Amino acid sequence: MIAVNLPRSWPRVLAGELNAGDVTLGEWAAITDADLERYGDTLLGVHRNIVVTAFDITDWARTDEGRVQFEGTPSETWAHLVGGLVPGRPWVRGAARPVKMISTSLLTGEEVEPIVERSGRLRSVLGTTVITVDPDGTTTVEVVPGTRVVVITAPTSAGTEDDSAA
């Protein structure tokens, strides 16, 4: 799921000057192909940390400037998010990036078989936790806010165990 912040354009939608779909699906910078592969199923439009639109992404294209232009249809699956707080961390005043990536699986709690993505990344969903292992061995754990995470590393060569909690 990709969320886009609409601080300037949404008031123009409310004033009837712009179309809600056009401003949400619009052209967005700093979205990588890996982000699109991993999160490109749903697009949320957000104004003042409230979800104002939800679209199922049907396609996307890059502009000459490298921005992403989405195509989508209003989402029936995620329509219930409209009017509520944006999932994940809210935008804060002065935040420079108007785009956030949110794992859809975190919202569904859906467990799936581990998958190997085109990039070679291994991804698994366990309850409301998403674990991703990149080909270089980097492991990312995504959890819902308020979840306690404990990390236990493998024993060192000296045979001691290094435990740390986050």
Ranges of each domain in the chain: 1-102, 105-166
pLDDT number for residue 19? 96
* Average model confidence (pLDDT) across the chain: 83
26 or 118, greater pLDDT: 26
CA end-to-end distance (rounded Å), the chain: 25
Most confidently predicted of 34-43, 107-116, 122-131, 153-162: 34-43
Mean pLDDT of 127-145: 79
With 80 as the cut, is the pLDDT of residue 134 above it? yes
Give the pLDDT band of residue 17 (cuts 50, 70, 90): very high
**Distance between CA atoms of residues 100 and 27, nearest Å:** 14
18-35, pLDDT tens digit by residue? 999 999 999 999 899 999
89: tokens are 């961390």
pLDDT tops 70 at residue 127: no
pLDDT value of residue 88: 72
* Burial class for 99, CB neighbours closer than 10 Å (0-12, 13-18, 19+): middle
Query: At residue 36, what are phi and psi to the nearest 5 degrees?
Result: -65, -40
pLDDT tens column, 55-100: 999 999 999 999 999 999 999 989 988 998 888 777 777 676 789 9
Q: Is 158 exposed, middle or buried (0-12, 13-18, 19+ CB in 10 A)?
A: exposed
- Dihedral sign computed on CA atoms, order 49, 127, 163, 133: negative
